[in-house]
Structure 1
Amino acid sequence: MPQLFIILAALSWGFISVFVKKLSNYGFTEMEIVTIRVVYAFILLIPIIILQRKNSVIRIRLTHLPYFIGTGLCSIVFFNWCYFTAMNKLSVSFAVMLLYTSPAFVAIFSYLFLKERLTKKKLLAVLITIIGCALIAINGGVGASWDQLGFVIGLGAGLGYALYSIFGKLATRYYDSITITFYTFFVASLCLVPFYRFWEKFNQIPNELHLYMIGLALVPTVLAYILYTIGLNRIESSTAAILATIEPVAAIIIGITLFNEKITFVQFVGILCILSSVLILSIKRKSIKSHKSELSIFNEKTR
């Protein structure tokens, strides 16, 4: 079930706040945290590539390099910087809400560039998702300072997040998920390492912080993107992007259990909206497939 891979990826992404908060408390900047994330992820991917024992895993055409520039630089680097910066300029809730404008971007881009159908079901799911994210953000935004630049950057996070679905979908026509993930983080690392030398702070941090760096690269990065790309290979990119909006639900649950955050009734309604959009895409899709299967069996019997 490809929808399950997308949902598991979204749950993994939901853990990112645990690692980012810890690293931020020790004085790492947003771009340094982005660099830590992509560099450690790339290092973790190397043994996975070696274990594949296939030359085809690391062999790509130079003409396909723009796909990985798209997933690595235009998506991973750009989206992470926008997301972390929006968190600082606005409230975290506003940043999450703006990040999850990505399904709307994906649905439109998929229609324009990938020739995917913009069905009524997708439009309904996008609308319910946006409403849900807005409801979750309402109380978080009360009293928060408004920053026009932060708002624009926050929308940039949604755009960058959406671009992974678009470029990733194009790349899945030629490569499997591990190849796409490997070159995504290779390109991102290559672009960031010369400018953000995070290792120079190593002598100022405790040893336990290295575990958080590895965790940031493993759970909400390598594992999440492999799961997401596997799912993306089997369903439409616009559907995958909407299913991935279960991430804010996971983030809120983590906030309650680990950081003692409170949820208002309005935010709870927002969570229900997001879950409803997931059900619209998965349960109804399953029922349609089941109906087609029954119709196929009927046709076989009448031949």
Structure 2
Amino acid sequence: MVQHSSPPRGLRSAGSTAGLGTVFVVLAALCWGLSGGIGGILTAEGWSPVVVSFYRGAIGLLFVLLWLALRPGGSGLASSRLWFWSVIAGVGVAGNFSFYFLSIAEGSVAVAATLMYSAPVFVYLVSFAFRLEKPTLFKWAAIATVMLGVVLLTGIYEIGAGDVTPIAAGAGLLSGLSYAVFIFGFKYAAPHGSPQAILAIAFAVLVGILVWLGDAEQTVAALGTPSWPLFVVLGVLGAGLSFIFYIVGLNRTAPAVASIVAMVEPVSASLFGVVVLNESLTAVQICGMGLILVTVTALSVYSSD
């Protein structure tokens, strides 16, 4: 889930803490990667992707509320623009979590994580449409390369291919699109308040949406299931500590460096799927994954220069 635009207000600093900042970004990416694997275990047990997403977001909300309580200065909570864009970010992250776990449930962790990693492509396409970014040959070539990678990874060129279902591929791409919405919401909310205030509103919106969409019986049943420790770990790693690690890390890391170490997320998620969940990838799928990861990373580094 590590994607990059210009860091929010107060998130750029240089100097001797750069190495520590990189460690925090790596930890955030590793947490997000592992959360995909844990979500794969829970959905394989029959838990709804919406319920899994709800607990991830609800536990994350507790963490960011505590963060906001400890550091309330400059929150910007009196700003209507902060609330508007934070709500947009919340809608985006709700879709991101839910579609991501749906893609995992219908396909595999590796495919879902890699397709979600294509979010910057959607950011650029929307930016082109609204003339927020100037199209260049490099950007269009990168987008075309990522699309080729998606074709190879999902196998949609093979009629009747069973490795990746249309639902898995579609949900994976929608998770990337939803995360692009989160990126825009967070970016435009950032000048009006603190990251912890934005995340608190966004996660509150996420929880509200998923309570409305989710299965109430299954949501309550999760509290008494033997799998409840996995729900807790998912929330702590996937939305609690990870977002805090990322914000703190980006404060001390150049965006270009953060873009490169972000590959820890899909790689760790894929390894979890292969080693723990006994998933497998063909040589063509691995090639497609490589195209997406390398191209998106290059695009992110290019955009932060």
TM-score range normalised by the length of the shorter chain: 0.7 to 0.9
- In the other structure, the counterpart of 2:15 is none
Deviation of the 1:39 alpha carbon: 0.9
Deviation of the 1:42 alpha carbon: 0.7
- In the other structure, the counterpart of 1:42 is 61
Deviation of the 1:244 alpha carbon: 5.2
User: SS state of the match for residue 172, structure 1?
Assistant: helix
- In the other structure, the counterpart of 1:294 is none
Deviation of the 1:7 alpha carbon: 6.1
Contact kept, 8 Å, 1:106 with 1:241, in 2: the verdict is no
For residues 28-67 of structure 1, the C-alpha deviation after alignment (integer angstroms, 9 at most, x for no partner) is 2121111111111111223222222x34337241343221
Q: State the superposition RMSD in angstroms.
A: 4.0
Write the letter of the residue equivalent to 2:51: E
Q: Is the aligned partner of 1:71 residue 2:89?
A: yes
Write the letter of the residue equivalent to 2:47: F
Aligned ranges for residues 1-303 of structure 1 at < 5 Å?
A: 9-52=28-71, 54-57=72-75, 59-73=77-91, 75-89=92-106, 95-96=112-113, 98-113=115-130, 115-138=132-155, 142-144=161-163, 146-147=165-166, 152-193=170-211, 196=214, 197=216, 200-202=220-222, 204-206=224-226, 209-228=227-246, 231=250, 247-277=265-295, 280-281=298-299
Contact kept, 8 Å, 2:122 with 2:177, in 1: the verdict is yes
**1:38 & 1:279 partners in 2: Cα distance?**
27
Among all aligned residue pairs of Structure 1 and Structure 2, give the percentage whose two residues are the same amino acid.
25
User: SS state of the match for residue 76, structure 1?
Assistant: helix
Report the TM-score, using the length of structure 2 for normalisation.
Answer: 0.72
**1:12 & 1:66 partners in 2: Cα distance?**
28
- In the other structure, the counterpart of 1:295 is none
| Greater RCO, CA 8 A, separation 6+ | 2
**1:177 & 1:162 partners in 2: Cα distance?**
17
Q: For residues 229 and 119 of structure 1, do their structure 2 counterparts lie closer, same or farther at Cα, with a shift above 3 Å needed? A: farther
Deviation of the 1:106 alpha carbon: 0.6
Write the letter of the residue equivalent to 1:36: Y
Contact kept, 8 Å, 1:41 with 1:217, in 2: the verdict is yes
Return the index of the structure with the highest Cα Rg. Answer: 1
- In the other structure, the counterpart of 2:4 is none
**1:127 & 1:159 partners in 2: Cα distance?**
16
Q: Number of residues paired by the alignment? A: 281
**2:186 & 2:173 partners in 1: Cα distance?**
20
Gaps of 5+ in 2: 1-17
Report the TM-score, using the length of structure 1 for normalisation.
Answer: 0.72
Greater percentage in helix: 1
